[in-house]
Amino acid sequence: MLSSHRASQRQSVKIASLDFGRVVREKAAWSAMLSFAESEFSDENLRFYDRAQSFRKKYMKRGSQIYLAEEYETMKADATKIIDTFLIPNAPHALNLPDDLLKRFHAGLPEECTSNMFDPVSRVVYRAIEHDTFWRFKLSQVAQDLLESVPSLSLQFSGSNKSRSSEHNSMGTHSSCSQC
């Protein structure tokens, strides 16, 4: 009985040491957390974050933000899809965020469309994922299996005891959600 208790303690230590920043950057880990969120019917934040980061990466230009007319129209169409899916009232995958954060999108596409137009929402969503979805994910069997198969996702792998997610740029990118 004592040995099973110690084994249980070791498991919870492994789960507790899963590093959020590494999960965000690692495609397979992000996909595992997305699958977990889908099983809880709470995947909208992860899907929005993924889509917003892909949008940002696709349209971010070094130097100026000047686009060719065709490229700008494509960017507006992509932005409209994100807004209609996540940010307008009664959207199919509406985010549960403060109204003051979303009000600029309530009428649809804002007058000015830029590559970083979703950044304020993305920062809040990133923190929500880190402090809500990720904590529930860490307690799941999926996370436990993931950590056993990819030990580098652990804080202990680097010898660090502090979360690297605070060092991770909250606007970090990955493209792991092919369904978004």
Tokens for 50, please give them.
């993924």
Confidence (pLDDT) at 15: 53
With CA atoms as reference, report the closest residue to 58 among 128, 118, 121, 123. 118
Confidence (pLDDT) at 61: 76
State CA 32 to chain mean position distance. 12
Confidence (pLDDT) at 160: 42
Confidence (pLDDT) at 159: 46
Tokens for 62, please give them.
């070094």
Composition of the chain by helix, strand, coil, percent to 5:
65, 0, 35
Q: How many residues does the chain have?
A: 180
Which residues are within 8 A (CB) of 111 and not within 5 positions of it... i.e. 6 or more apart?
none
Q: In degrees to the nearest 10, what's the CA dihedral of 175, 25, 44, 73? A: -40
Q: How many helices and strands in the chain, by DSSP H and E?
A: 9, 0
Tokens for 128, please give them.
């929500």
Confidence (pLDDT) at 64: 63
Domain-wise residue ranges, the chain? 2-166
Q: Provide the β-strand partners of residue 18.
A: 154
Contact 115, 55 (CB under 8 A): yes
Q: Which CATH number fits domain 2-166: 3.40.50.2000, 3.40.50.1860, 1.10.167.10, 1.20.120.140?
A: 1.10.167.10
pTM across the whole model: 0.76
The three-class DSSP label of residue 154 is strand
- From first to last of its 180 residues, the chain has per-residue pLDDT tens of 545 544 554 554 445 578 899 999 999 999 999 999 999 999 999 999 999 999 999 998 765 667 788 889 999 999 999 999 999 999 999 999 998 999 989 888 988 899 999 999 999 999 999 999 999 999 998 998 998 888 888 876 544 444 434 333 434 444 444 333
Confidence (pLDDT) at 68: 82
